[in-house]
Amino acid sequence: MSEQTNTELEQQASAHRASAHRASAQVVAVMGDIITIKSLGSKPLTKNEVVYVMPSRRANEQVEEQLMAEVLRVRGDIADIQVYEDTRGVAVGDAIIQTGHLLSLELGPGILSMIYDGLQNPLERLASLHGKFLQRGVQLDALDRSQTWAFTAVAKTGDKLHAGETFGTVPEGRFTHRIMIPFNTEGEVEVIWIQEGSFNVDTVVAKVRNQRGEEVDLTMVQKWPVRHSISETLTKKGKTERQYPDTPLVTTQRIVDTFFPIARGGTGCIPGPFGSGKTVLQHSFSRYCDADIVIVTACGERAGEVVETIEEFPHLQDPTTGGSLIDRTVIICNTSSMPVAAREASIYTGLTLGEYYRQMGYNVLALADSTSRWAQAMRETSNRLEEIPGEEGFPAYMDSAIKGVYERCGVIRNEEGDEGSLTMVGSVSPAGGNFEEPVTQATLSTVKTFLGLSYERAYKRFYPAIDPLISWSRYLDQLSDWYGNNLSADWVENVKEMQALLVKGDSINQMMQVTGEEGITLEDYVTFQKSLFLDMVYLQQDAFDDVDSSCPLTRQKACFELAVSLIRQQYTFKDKEIARDYFVKLTGLFKNLNYSHDGSPEYNSYLQKIEELRNQYIGTAAAA
Ligand SMILES: Nc1ncnc2c1ncn2[C@@H]1O[C@H](COP(=O)(O)OP(=O)(O)OP(=O)(O)O)[C@@H](O)[C@H]1O
Ligand SMILES: [Mg+2]
């Protein structure tokens, strides 16, 4: 262990020893990670306050441990707290230190490209200091204190500012990170001193006089409670306004962008049975979407998957800028081996970081995989508290908790008049793929895009396994002006015509299951072949092919228009066999087109072959 880390640990330990004397409550009962505490009378206990448990029995007497916990329920001078760590050895009588603060994050430059746990502990630094097996009771600064940032003042002495207004900026990678007046500031403050230069986040860069005439030091970092919405606070206090979402978030997944779009600032969910491709789809979103910043919250996913993401991202290119993908990404990761309680907090951590960057005017996509594991954490806690269970043991407030999460999304115009958005897409993993269960149902009644994955499609390897017959998006109509102005006047109309084709194709297919091919007319058979063709070449997309994995919107337009024209084409097939023959060949050529770089010689040659094939089968030639 390096000298620096030794000092750091010593400092931590001595701070803890000092704080043990500040105990204001003590443990009266322990039940797993739920502990009942009793106030010693000096400080009132408040709901959601962060407290520390100081176990007196420890494996290593030399190291003081402080276990972070949050107050869940207060009854007079008794409270139930939930500990975010392993509670082994915690005993009745152990000291509790109250912080007086709600569970909060550090907001400031240096968040991007970080990998945090649900409580904003930087995992890489934790691992380098304490090894891969996380030691309990260790908390680290979320933002690196050794890093300096070039601070440019935007405000000047005498300026009157209020919460959320920018007083300076620093470059954070390729982003301009706005340093804003703390969001909890009341009324106007006057800048009385401001400096410029390279500083770490704790350096005082400005001084302001508040409403009460007090001098307040401002650094580049502020704390914010995770369970409160930044934008909602600023909407009430300042000039931040909610806007109507009017632009799609382009994911480059054809079935999503064309058929079931998600608006910037909108909400979507991906329910699907185990192994149906939820994580792969979310990965595609995180890589290729046109958001400025992506926050990936992995709640209780398998550790292996998370490690894969972490190792992969620094080597991947950001498709829009060519930089490393990790530069625009924050990963919040709670593997299934981490304590349940931290998992519950992690969704709020992700959203709060998303809101912070949205407030600077960026478009942020927050992904959560999977929200079912988050809801299960809520259920476990509720059960331990012996609350009255609702459906399938989930607490009655789960519905409003889910709504509360997605409600933090939206488009805002910030204090400076710039627009930013926070979009959220959560996956849901219902047991047995049963969408009737409470978490899926509560989510479906909240979000505006439903990308339902089906076992049947995954089994057939029709990826992404989004089932076009059950999925829906309210944004297709809501964004129709955008499509009209940016793609084509009849875009939405054409998409709906193709959706109708898929429905018709499915009902013909079902009929065919009963009667066989002979039982249906040639016309119906051709309709079925057309819908199958659309499915094969447009809805399906290979996440593991260099080219096909991402289909930008301009390419989607060309691809969709070609597919539609081939589908609308009047053909005169002599019999079903000829019809099938044609669509099989057409599908093969079209798929090769999808695999070719846009505008490359191969691409053009496949285009030409498609036209040649079409010409062979129209008019008299096909009838022969
Ligand atoms: N778009 C795709 N293209 C090709 N293969 C895919 C695609 N999506 C999923 N798969 C295949 O399905 C497998 C399972 O996908 P994934 O891990 O995303 O499922 P999941 O729904 O997240 O599962 P779980 O419920 O266990 O978390 C992948 O390892 C991959 O082989
Ligand atoms: Mg998964």
Q: What is the pLDDT of residues 247-283, one digit of tens each?
A: 999 999 999 999 999 999 999 999 999 999 999 999 9
Closest residue by Cα to residue 228 from 118, 110, 351, 123: 351
pLDDT at 622 over 50: no
Residue 218, helix vs strand vs coil: strand
pLDDT at 14 over 60: no
Question: Relative to the CA of 276, which ligand 1 atom is closest?
Answer: 21
Residue 413, helix vs strand vs coil: strand
pLDDT at 385 over 80: yes
Q: How many CB atoms lie within 10 A of CB 120?
A: 25
Query: Which domains, and CATH codes, for the chain?
Result: 3-102 (2.40.10.170), 149-220 (2.40.50.100), 254-467 (3.40.50.300), 491-623 (1.10.1140.10)
Ligand 1 contact via 271 beta carbon (within 6 Å):
no
Two tokens, residue 364: 């942020």
Ligand 1 contact via 459 beta carbon (within 6 Å):
no
Q: Which of 35-44, 172-181, 595-604, 613-622 has the lowest mean pLDDT?
A: 613-622
pTM of the model: 0.92
Q: Which of 305-314, 406-415, 588-597 has the lowest mean pLDDT?
A: 305-314
Instruction: Tell which wins on pLDDT, 208 or 302.
Output: 208
Question: What integer best gives the mean pLDDT of the chain?
Answer: 91
Instruction: Tell which wins on pLDDT, 313 or 445.
Output: 445
User: What whole-number distance in Å separates Cα of residue 207 and Cα of residue 27?
Assistant: 41
Cis peptide before 370 (omega within 30 of 0): yes
Q: How many CB atoms lie within 10 A of CB 44?
A: 14
pLDDT digits over 74-114, tens only? 999 999 999 988 888 899 999 999 999 999 999 999 999 99
Would you say 420 is a known binding-site residue? no
Ligand 1 contact via 464 beta carbon (within 6 Å):
yes
Would you say 76 is a known binding-site residue? no
Ligand 1 contact via 280 beta carbon (within 6 Å):
yes
Q: Which protein residue has the closest C-alpha to ligand 1 atom 8?
A: 277
Q: Which pLDDT band holds residue 22 (cuts at 50, 70, 90)?
A: confident
Ligand 1 contact via 274 beta carbon (within 6 Å):
yes
Would you say 278 is a known binding-site residue? yes
What spacing in Å lies between the alpha carbon of 181 and ligand 2's midpoint? Answer: 39
Would you say 213 is a known binding-site residue? no
pLDDT digits over 585-621, tens only? 999 999 999 999 999 999 999 999 999 999 998 865 4
Would you say 236 is a known binding-site residue? no
Q: Which protein residue has the closest C-alpha to ligand 1 atom 15?
A: 277
What spacing in Å lies between the alpha carbon of 278 and ligand 2's midpoint? Answer: 5
Are 421 and 264 within 8 A, CB to CB?
yes
| Residue 367 CA: distances (Å) to CA of 115, 227, 333, 350, 579 | 14, 17, 12, 8, 43
Encode 159-192: b = buried (16+ Cβ within 10 Å), e = exposed: bebbbbbbbbbbebbebebbbbbbbebeebbbbe
Percent of the chain with pLDDT over 70: 92
pLDDT digits over 467-482, tens only? 999 999 999 999 999 9
Residue 492: HSE in the Cβ half-sphere, 13 Å Cα cutoff? 16
pLDDT digits over 125-155, tens only? 777 776 655 567 667 889 999 999 999 999 9
Bridge partner residues of 332 (DSSP):
116, 297
Q: Which amino acid is at 72?
A: L
What spacing in Å lies between the alpha carbon of 464 and ligand 1's midpoint? Answer: 9
pLDDT (0 to 100) of residue 220: 98
CA Rg value for the chain: 28
What spacing in Å lies between the alpha carbon of 439 and ligand 1's midpoint? Answer: 21
pLDDT (0 to 100) of residue 17: 52
User: What mean pLDDT do residues 115-128 have?
Assistant: 82
pLDDT (0 to 100) of residue 111: 97
User: What whole-number distance in Å separates Cα of residue 426 and Cα of residue 271?
Assistant: 8
Distance of CA 548 to the CA centre of its chain: 23
Probe residue for ligand 1, chosen from 274, 280, 454 as the CB with the greatest number of ligand atoms within 8 Å: 280
Q: Which pLDDT band holds residue 336 (cuts at 50, 70, 90)?
A: low
Structural element, H or E, at residue 124: helix 123-130
Ligand 1 contact via 540 beta carbon (within 6 Å):
no
pLDDT at 41 over 80: yes
Instruction: Tell which wins on pLDDT, 9 or 289.
Output: 289
Torsion sign over Cα 190, 193, 197, 202: negative
Would you say 14 is a known binding-site residue? no
Q: What is the DSSP letter of 85?
A: S
